[in-house]
Chain A
Amino acid sequence: MECRQSDNHFDRPRPIRVLVAKPGLDGHDRGAKVMVRAMRDAGFEVVYTGLFQTPEMIANAALHEDVDVVGLSILSGAHMSLFPRIVEELREVGLEDILVVAGGTIPDSDRRAILTMGISEVFGPGASLTSVVDYIRSNVGARSDVA
């Protein structure tokens, strides 16, 4: 890996920014933390929300942090009810175009339904960390608006 220390960071492209969120009452965050570290090691700037996030809190964080991707980590099985609300809250704050991915204990049988909710990809329990990183790199949109 190349060393990226430089005093003139202005002239380099900016890192991808990701929000890793733990929605709902799911209290297990070891997997999310592993994902955060893997993304950091891949060169992303990762904002981790911590546990027990409501859809409003997730949208609030995504908005303020101006992330390129929202990653939802869920092991509680409540994804079918939580995901549509989260996508709705993201729309409410104007983030309808943001890339949203989900991971955790999500059965394959739910995958197709989830993909129609506005979530771009689902990473089940067997998914590798690299597959998530690679997916994000390939699918992060170029920004269309300029201030």
Chain B
Amino acid sequence: MLEGDRRAIARSLTLVESDHDSVAGLVDHLYPHTGSAVILGITGPPGVGKSTLVGALVDRFRRSRRRVAVLAVDPSSSVSGGAALGDRIRIGERAGDHGLFVRSVASRGHRGGLALGIAGMVHVLDAAGFELIILETVGVGQGEIGIVDRSHIVIVVQVPGLGDDIQALKAGLLEIADIIVVNKGDLSGAARVVSELRSSFAMGTDPAPPILKVSAATEEGVDDLVVAIDDRAAMIIDTGSIESRRRRLAATEVLDYLQVELRRELDRAGQLVTDEPNVIDSVSSRELSPRQAARQLARLIV
């Protein structure tokens, strides 16, 4: 897999996505080979053209011979657990191009952001030698800003016609953006959205990120976007801000794994109560309060 065999990469992605225990070894094994890829997070409300934009970006990156991988995340049905994954169509199929790897990912019920499986998938692609990894997800507001904890650079995509939603989005999504893209720039109202965004930022204390008007469908403005991405990457590296972003990604992932471990331990809590009848006797006889007993048992768990 480390040599870039596509089938091995695809299989590895499947394993780390779905089965934690048997492949904890795989991620651990790959991890020393990760750390060179730049992770680009692209998010925004549904229907703004993220996938088409990713397709246009991929085209530019491949022209400059940069190896790119895309993880296109869509929600799973909370009823059936299944998913219809249609981003691939808009990104475009490039059969035979070994420098591009596009993978559709279902969220599998993970609320409020991106699942731990996706972090593992990023590591697989990083270790396989992809320089740029694009994480494309739906973000609709304050609850979906998990992408900032999984990417080095965050691009938020907007479109004209969202109206009052812009104000609501501002509180969450727009504040985390390194670059804001107003897509469907050919529509009337696009210029107004750009100036509205600029003036909202002017009222605040933080400097505005680059705000670009783009039409992913006609590819107008996409070259400027690539320049903006490269400039932003250079800036965060030069200022050293890349280090704090790397640490944030690491901390997020450690916390996520820790929660998985602790949740597993928690599942055994019921068994623990059954296994320690002496402690329960002490509670019945009023030697211990229930809370004191729970604290004693908790020390046995970790």
Contacts and interface: CB of A to CB of B under 8 A. Distances in A.
Interface of A: 1, 3-11, 13-15, 17, 36-37, 39-50, 53-54, 56-57, 59-61, 63-66, 93-95, 145-147
Nearest to A68: B14
B247 interface: no
Interface stretch (B101-109, B144-152, B281-289): B101-109
Given A10-B19, A10-B21, A42 B80 contact: yes
A47 B19 CA distance: 20
A25 B111 CA distance: 40
Given A7-B263, A41-B80, 14 more contacts: A1-B79, A5-B111, A9-B109, A10-B20, A13-B18, A37-B84, A40-B77, A41-B79, A43-B80, A45-B76, A50-B88, A56-B96, A94-B7, A147-B12
A118 to B, nearest CB: 18
A41 B95 contact: no
Contact of A48 (B15, B89, B116): B89
B18 A40 contact: no
B116 A6 contact: no
22 contacts: A1-B79, A4-B109, A8-B263, A10-B117, A10-B260, A15-B106, A15-B108, A40-B82, A43-B81, A43-B82, A45-B106, A46-B84, A46-B85, A48-B88, A48-B89, A50-B88, A64-B6, A65-B88, A66-B13, A145-B11, A147-B8, A147-B15
A75 B80 CA distance: 29
Given A40-B80, A45-B76, A47-B85, A14 B19 contact: yes
B112 to A, nearest CB: 9
B34 to A, nearest CB: 16
Contact of B110 (A9, A94, A146): A9
A146 to B, nearest CB: 7
Given A40-B80, A43-B81, A64 B101 contact: yes
B85 A60 contact: no
B103 to A, nearest CB: 6
A37 B85 CA distance: 10
A5 B78 contact: yes
Interface of B: 1, 6-8, 10-15, 17-23, 26, 76-86, 88-89, 93-96, 101-104, 106, 108-111, 115-117, 259-260, 263-264
Which of A9, A49, A65, A145 has its CB near the most chain B CB atoms (within 10 A)? A9
B106 A60 contact: no
B25 to A, nearest CB: 9
A93 B81 CA distance: 29
B81 A4 contact: yes
Nearest to B14: A66
Which of B12, B17, B21, B104 has its CB near the most chain A CB atoms (within 10 A)? B104
A126 to B, nearest CB: 24
B40 to A, nearest CB: 19
B23 A147 contact: yes
A100 B146 CA distance: 37
Given A64-B103, A66-B11, A9 B85 contact: no
Given A40-B83, A56-B95, A60-B96, A14 B17 contact: yes
Given A6-B109, A8-B263, A41 B102 contact: no
A20 B243 CA distance: 42
A63 B7 contact: yes
Contacts of B101: 64
A45 B115 CA distance: 16
Q: Which 5 A-B pairs have the closest CB atoms?
A: A10-B20, A14-B18, A50-B89, A60-B95, A56-B95
A136 to B, nearest CB: 12
B6 A10 contact: no
A57 B91 CA distance: 13
A133 B111 CA distance: 27
B288 to A, nearest CB: 31
Contacts of B103: 64-65
A41 B82 contact: yes
A58 B85 CA distance: 15
Contacts of A93: 6-7
Contacts of A5: 78, 109, 111
